[in-house]
Amino acid sequence: MSAPPYKQLEQEFKRLHAFRGALALLRWDAAVMMPRGSADVRGEQVAALETEHHALLTAPRITRLLDRAQANTQGLADWQIANLREMRRQRDHAIATPATLVSRLAKATSRAESKWLEARAQGKFELFAPHLEEVVHLVRDKAALLGQARNLAPYDALVDEYSPGLTTVDIDAIFRPLSKRLPSLIRETIALQETRPLMPLTGKFPAGKQRALVTEVMKAVGFPFDRGRLDESEHPFTEGVPGDIRVTTRFDADDVFPGLLGALHETGHAMYDLGLPQEWRDQPVGRDRGMALEESQSLLIEMMVCRSRPFVRYVRPLIAKHFGAGGPEWEVENVYGHLTRVQRGLIRVDADELTYPLHIMLRYELERQLLSGELAVRNLAEGWNAGMEQRLGIRPTNDVDGCLQDIHWAVGSFGYFPSYALGTAIAAQLYESLREGLEGLDEQLARGEFGGLFEWLRTNVHGLGAKVPVQELLKAATGKPLSAASFVRYVEAKYLESAASSVAA
Amino acid sequence: MSAPPYKQLEQEFKRLHAFRGALALLRWDAAVMMPRGSADVRGEQVAALETEHHALLTAPRITRLLDRAQANTQGLADWQIANLREMRRQRDHAIATPATLVSRLAKATSRAESKWLEARAQGKFELFAPHLEEVVHLVRDKAALLGQARNLAPYDALVDEYSPGLTTVDIDAIFRPLSKRLPSLIRETIALQETRPLMPLTGKFPAGKQRALVTEVMKAVGFPFDRGRLDESEHPFTEGVPGDIRVTTRFDADDVFPGLLGALHETGHAMYDLGLPQEWRDQPVGRDRGMALEESQSLLIEMMVCRSRPFVRYVRPLIAKHFGAGGPEWEVENVYGHLTRVQRGLIRVDADELTYPLHIMLRYELERQLLSGELAVRNLAEGWNAGMEQRLGIRPTNDVDGCLQDIHWAVGSFGYFPSYALGTAIAAQLYESLREGLEGLDEQLARGEFGGLFEWLRTNVHGLGAKVPVQELLKAATGKPLSAASFVRYVEAKYLESAASSVAA
């Protein structure tokens, strides 16, 4: 007698999980260790494993087992029923994107990515445009197919792939109040900050010593170096599976904070992954609940926990220890001023937390117009520049600082950008409740104690894996549905505080 | 109309090649980069990929295509016909070892390996014995199945897996003259070397500077750092595929040579892999011709090319540059004396080229007795110690220096050891012909020029891939079938040279 359908499915998905882990390592290595000339060889390996993963997931046997298991869920626990739902979701997504489309997209995005690099090097959007057009066409096909399969509007189907259960309704509900409040708040903040000049944080920060500092802080945060690594790469990222999580950052010899905060942002992702339910670690229900929640965890750590006075109090002596940095410019208020400086800039990845959502709104608007055909790809650069001027009051003078700055569209990631802004709103809402529930948090953080913080996050977020939808998780954790209200309260309090209160704090 | 069977097979094996490349990276990472605590996660990933590789290779479709392609080879070139033969060989090996046996062996060797580590830590063979016994039973089953499938005696079938086309007949033809000549040659050499005392090569050799030296030498040898890496690991090894070849070594702070020669040994492997026919790189016929030939290439570089006076002349100024090492102890004769010192020792991996074959003969004898049942696993330690005493005149006083020193049997590698000794004989035979054909080689080596050397090896060895059997390759390259004669001539000339000639040379 063979095992019950549900048990057989667990075995199948355990194998798929191992494939995903192997793919994660191939990608990590490509970004951190691989010799430059080996990209073609690696490309073949990734394609072979992805093709096989797709074939295993869409095999008729999986569909049959899912039908049988879902027809009779008697005797299954709620985690198992949720696991079946997530298995079905993964299978539906894979079935909806046939192997031929996946392969055409892989080739088109591979070409587009290399043309994007070339266009950036030469500062010419027109080199990239025809290749982006091809990608847009294929993503449009994919969105239509996914939408049919998931019973969603095409763009919502793309969002659903990254942030399951969230749609343009949720995104618009966040963006509407933000696009009203942020422009004036940015003006007020900049005006206020101009009245509080900062002393520059000068110094030399050799990479080896930065590494030692970052390692010390990550250990305090709880990152397990016996089951994870810290490395350097061109852009910080987190890759791997719980049990082998790898974080990267990039060190700037003239400024200690980009490397430290980049690593802590990624550590936020890693701690989420590490807090996922251990007993479900190789099953779909044991995975993270999508990119919006992922981003909420990295932003909560970087923006709310680390760009704060308590964290500055904790980290100042460590910076002094590792670099001998002292003097008045290293006083708490001056350092905190640097970590919370607001300015209108052209580059998303360099943006502060007030201007960042405006960068996202622009991309959200443009990518929907590209997919609907309302905006022709050839007019993207102009649309971008006009949008930047309208939203942030500054206009790029070249495409590298404009519509060529992000890799996302080149690699076919449409519907991904909103997860950054959704993540910001989720982070603020969670952090508000967390602070209400955790007495003495600031004192703990100032002592470098992160245990209480992560206990709350594990109970209310990490430990739930993919068991419940984001909205339900948020309702249970904060008592409220997702909205921008907490974020607005948070940034108003943080950026409009009077000089007096800031000195007293 | 679908592609002809042969073309379809090429596609299938291209995919299998990509799987092998991914597996190679998972293993490299496990030894070089992986956090200690992630071994269980990695084990699952490797098992999933190996299982899938086995399933793809043994699919009925492959057999059908092979039958059809081999039934009508008209219009196929000789490389394609050889490729079909190698495809069939791989498939036969995989079919002969059913998934259940592969999985039982994987579990048994995983347990045995951890018990082997424990037994080494405690110095107690009896902790390891029952687990080795389990492995021996399973390997015996495997040897029987492989033997039936390949029409070979069981032990020959195991040898054939590592060194295709070579059998105990070839091994015995090498070992018989060596077991006659080596004991007296070792005695004579040691007596002669005692009359030529050496000055110690003292100094401090920081890892970072050793890395710079090794990198410089590897570049001169021709290792392509844009498609390969050098790293450190507990034991030196080479892993990867042409296009992404990774070499490791281990640095000893008190001695510059183990790290340098370890890396050069591995570079010998890497240069073989890099010289394989590029147009067949993702096909079975484009692979190396087995472990005996692999070892011949690493030994030829390390032992014959690098443990030589010309190489010492080349590398001395580099050592002086990187470490400031000078003084009379760094004169050519003294350094060369150290690189060719012979002594009877208990440990295989530390052995010189004269005593090394005796270590292999002992293992060859013992592993055949274990598999035939002539020697019970519980009596292995005693058999080992007696054999060492008989062959090398020294007796281990503990099992860590005795039968617990190698990992091979714990992980199920029976039939592998002979490839080291076969490699030595092949290397000497190739090097003899190579020197006859290459005028001015010593002068080139003394200038750090390795181009002529590798051109000869590419033409006669590397570029042939797996197209012809080892014996045929050797006949074509040297005009003679494999024998120990060249090796005996080589070691007699090298170790019995008169003091006068050594000074004159």
**A208 at the B interface (CB within 8 A)?**
no
Cβ pair B366, B383 in contact under 8 A = yes
Specify the pLDDT at position B405: 95
Do residue A25 and residue B21 have CB atoms under 8 angstroms apart? no
CA distance A41 to chain B (A): 6
Cα–Cα distance for residue pair A260/A238, rounded to 1 Å? 14
Interface test with B, best of A15, A26, A40, A41 (most B CBs within 10 A): A41
Contacts of A286 in chain B (CB under 8 A): none
Contacts of A17 in chain B (CB under 8 A): 44
- The B residues from 246 to 305 touching A (CB cutoff 8 Å) are 282
Specify the pLDDT at position B366: 98
Specify the pLDDT at position B235: 86
Nearest to B412 by CA among B162, B48, B82: B162
Who's near A223: CB < 8 A, 6+ residues apart? A230, A247, A267, A270, A271, A274
**B34 at the A interface (CB within 8 A)?**
yes
**B30 at the A interface (CB within 8 A)?**
no
Cα–Cα distance for residue pair A370/A381, rounded to 1 Å? 12
**A34 at the B interface (CB within 8 A)?**
yes
Q: Is the pLDDT of residue B491 over 90?
A: yes
Tell how many helices (H) and how many strands (E) occur in chain A: 21, 3
Residues B61-73 have a mean pLDDT of 96
Q: Is the pLDDT of residue A396 over 70?
A: yes
Q: Is the pLDDT of residue A479 over 90?
A: yes
User: What is the tens place of the pLDDT at every residue in B208-217?
Assistant: 999 999 999 9
Cα–Cα distance for residue pair B183/B361, rounded to 1 Å? 13
The domain limits of chain B are 1-96, 207-346+424-504
* pTM for this model (two decimals): 0.93
Q: Is the pLDDT of residue A397 over 90?
A: yes
Q: Is the pLDDT of residue B242 over 50?
A: yes
DSSP string for residues in A319-352: HHHHH---SGGGSHHHHHHHHT-----S-GGG--
Specify the pLDDT at position A234: 84
- Residue A287: phi and psi, rounded to 5, are -85, 170
pLDDT class of A505 with cuts at 50, 70, 90: very low
DSSP-derived pairing of the beta strands B228-232 and A244-249: unpaired
For residue B15, the chain A residue with the least C-alpha distance is A48
Residues B405-411 have a mean pLDDT of 94
User: What is the tens place of the pLDDT at every residue in B316-360?
Assistant: 999 999 999 889 999 999 999 999 999 999 999 999 999 999 999
Query: Does an H or E element contain B377, and which?
Result: none
**A121 at the B interface (CB within 8 A)?**
no
Q: Is the pLDDT of residue B435 over 60?
A: yes
For residue A56, the chain B residue with the least C-alpha distance is B52
Residues B418-436 have a mean pLDDT of 97
pLDDT class of B504 with cuts at 50, 70, 90: very low
For residue B244, the chain A residue with the least C-alpha distance is A38
For residue B49, the chain A residue with the least C-alpha distance is A19
**A399 at the B interface (CB within 8 A)?**
no
Residue type, B324: G
Do residue B44 and residue A282 have CB atoms under 8 angstroms apart? yes
Contacts of B52 in chain A (CB under 8 A): 15, 19, 52
Specify the pLDDT at position B428: 98
Cα–Cα distance for residue pair B108/B270, rounded to 1 Å? 31
Do residue A33 and residue B229 have CB atoms under 8 angstroms apart? yes
Specify the pLDDT at position A222: 97
Residues A274, A279, A284, A285: is their CA dihedral positive or negative?
Answer: negative
CATH for B207-346+424-504 is 1.10.1370.30
For A40, the 3-state DSSP assignment is helix
Contacts of A19 in chain B (CB under 8 A): 45, 48-49, 52
Specify the pLDDT at position B107: 85
Residues B85-101 have a mean pLDDT of 93
For B272, the 3-state DSSP assignment is helix
Specify the pLDDT at position B501: 52
Cβ pair B455, B146 in contact under 8 A = no
**A285 torsion bin: left (phi>0), alpha (psi -120 to 50), beta (else):** alpha
Do residue B282 and residue A44 have CB atoms under 8 angstroms apart? yes
| Residue A266 bears catalytic tag | yes
Tell how many helices (H) and how many strands (E) occur in chain B: 21, 3
Catalytic residue, chosen from A10, A134, A161, A266, is A266
For residue A25, the chain B residue with the least C-alpha distance is B26
Among candidates A19, A26, A243 on the partner chain, residue whose Cβ is nearest the Cβ of B38: A243
Cα–Cα distance for residue pair B400/A257, rounded to 1 Å? 50
Do residue A21 and residue B228 have CB atoms under 8 angstroms apart? no
Cα–Cα distance for residue pair B384/B366, rounded to 1 Å? 8
**B26 at the A interface (CB within 8 A)?**
yes
- Mean pLDDT across chain B: 95
Residues A317-345 have a mean pLDDT of 95
Instruction: For residue A255, give the DSSP letter.
Output: B
Upper half-sphere CA count for residue B270 (Cβ side, 13 Å): 30
Percentage above 90 pLDDT, chain A: 91
Q: Kindly report the CA angle at A471 between A466 and A472, in degrees rounded to 5?
A: 70
A356 alpha-carbon distance from chain centroid: 13
- Residue A248: phi and psi, rounded to 5, are -125, 160
Percentage above 90 pLDDT, chain B: 91
Residues A151-167 have a mean pLDDT of 95
Who's near A106: CB < 8 A, 6+ residues apart? A47, A50
Both tokens assigned to B154: 């069981």
Residues A145-160 have a mean pLDDT of 94
Prediction ipTM score: 0.92
User: What is the tens place of the pLDDT at every residue in A337-379?
Assistant: 999 999 999 999 999 999 999 999 999 999 999 999 999 999 9
Cα–Cα distance for residue pair B166/B124, rounded to 1 Å? 35
Contacts of B35 in chain A (CB under 8 A): 225-229, 244
Q: Is the pLDDT of residue A501 over 60?
A: no
Among candidates A45, A48, A244 on the partner chain, residue whose Cβ is nearest the Cβ of B42: A244
Tokens 């050797």, residue located: B474
Residue type, A175: F
Judge: domain A207-346+424-468, CATH 3.90.1150.10: no
**A30 at the B interface (CB within 8 A)?**
no
- Mean pLDDT across chain A: 95
Nearest to B141 by CA among B115, B85, B87, B103: B103
CA distance A204 to chain B (A): 23
pLDDT class of A39 with cuts at 50, 70, 90: confident
Q: What angle, rounded to 10 degrees, do the helices at A418-437 and A356-372 form?
A: 140
Cα–Cα distance for residue pair A187/A53, rounded to 1 Å? 50
Q: What angle, rounded to 10 degrees, do the helices at A418-437 and A485-495 form?
A: 70
Cα–Cα distance for residue pair A306/A431, rounded to 1 Å? 13
Do residue A241 and residue B41 have CB atoms under 8 angstroms apart? yes
Cβ pair B119, B104 in contact under 8 A = no
For B342, the 3-state DSSP assignment is coil
Residue B95: other Cβ atoms inside 10 A: 16
Cα–Cα distance for residue pair A201/A319, rounded to 1 Å? 12
Largest CA distance in chain A: 77
Q: Rounded to 10 degrees, what is the CA torsion of A359, A361, A365, A367?
A: 60
- Residue B483: phi and psi, rounded to 5, are -155, 175
Q: Is the pLDDT of residue B384 over 70?
A: yes
User: What is the tens place of the pLDDT at every residue in A441-469?
Assistant: 999 999 999 999 999 999 999 999 999 99
Both tokens assigned to A271: 């701690």
Cα–Cα distance for residue pair B214/A6, rounded to 1 Å? 55
- Size of the A and B interface in Cβ pairs below 8 Å: 97
Cα–Cα distance for residue pair B52/B54, rounded to 1 Å? 5
Interface test with B, best of A244, A245, A273, A274 (most B CBs within 10 A): A244
Q: Is the pLDDT of residue B192 over 70?
A: yes
Do residue A21 and residue B227 have CB atoms under 8 angstroms apart? no
pLDDT class of B499 with cuts at 50, 70, 90: low
In total, chain B counts a number of residues equal to 505
Do residue A243 and residue B47 have CB atoms under 8 angstroms apart? no
Q: Is the pLDDT of residue B502 over 80?
A: no
Q: Is the pLDDT of residue A208 over 90?
A: yes
Q: Is the pLDDT of residue A167 over 50?
A: yes
Both tokens assigned to A364: 């959200």
Tokens 């002068």, residue located: B443
Both tokens assigned to B315: 């590398």
Residues B10-14 have a mean pLDDT of 97
Specify the pLDDT at position A235: 87
pLDDT class of A1 with cuts at 50, 70, 90: low
Among candidates B18, B25, B241 on the partner chain, residue whose Cβ is nearest the Cβ of A29: B25
Residues B126, B128, B132, B134: is their CA dihedral positive or negative?
Answer: positive
**B59 at the A interface (CB within 8 A)?**
no
Nearest to B57 by CA among A495, A258, A52: A52
Cα–Cα distance for residue pair A347/A128, rounded to 1 Å? 19
pLDDT class of B1 with cuts at 50, 70, 90: low
